[in-house]
Amino acid sequence: MLASSVSVEPPLNLRFAVMSQTRNSEQAGTLRDSVLPSQPRSPSRLVPYLGLVAGLVAFTMLSAVYLQNSRSSDFESLASVPDAVIFELEGSRGELTVAWSDERNKVAVLGNDLDDVDPGLAYELWIVTGEGVRPAGLFTTLNGEVDDAFDVGEVEPQGWGVSVEPKTGSPHPTTEVVFSKQI
Check whether domain 74-182 has CATH 1.10.1740, yes or no: no
Q: Is the dihedral of CA 46, 49, 55, 57 positive or negative?
A: negative
105 backbone dihedrals φ, ψ, rounded to 5°: 55, 45
pLDDT value, residue 13: 66
What is Dmax (Cα atoms) for the chain? 123
pLDDT value, residue 53: 72
pLDDT value, residue 25: 65
| Number of residues written out for the chain | 183
pLDDT value, residue 29: 59
pLDDT value, residue 135: 96
pLDDT value, residue 56: 75
pLDDT value, residue 35: 55
pLDDT value, residue 23: 67
Rounded to whole angstroms, the Cα distance separating 148 from 138 reads: 9
pLDDT value, residue 73: 85
Residue 101 CB contacts under 8 Å (≥ 6 apart), including other chains: 78, 81, 83, 84, 85, 107
pTM: 0.61
Closest CA to 147 of 121, 179, 109: 109
Query: Cβ(128)–Cβ(151) under 8 Å?
Result: no
128 backbone dihedrals φ, ψ, rounded to 5°: -95, 120
pLDDT value, residue 22: 66
Rounded to whole angstroms, the Cα distance separating 131 from 6 reads: 122
Flag residues of the chain having pLDDT under 70.
1-8, 10-18, 22-48, 50, 63-72
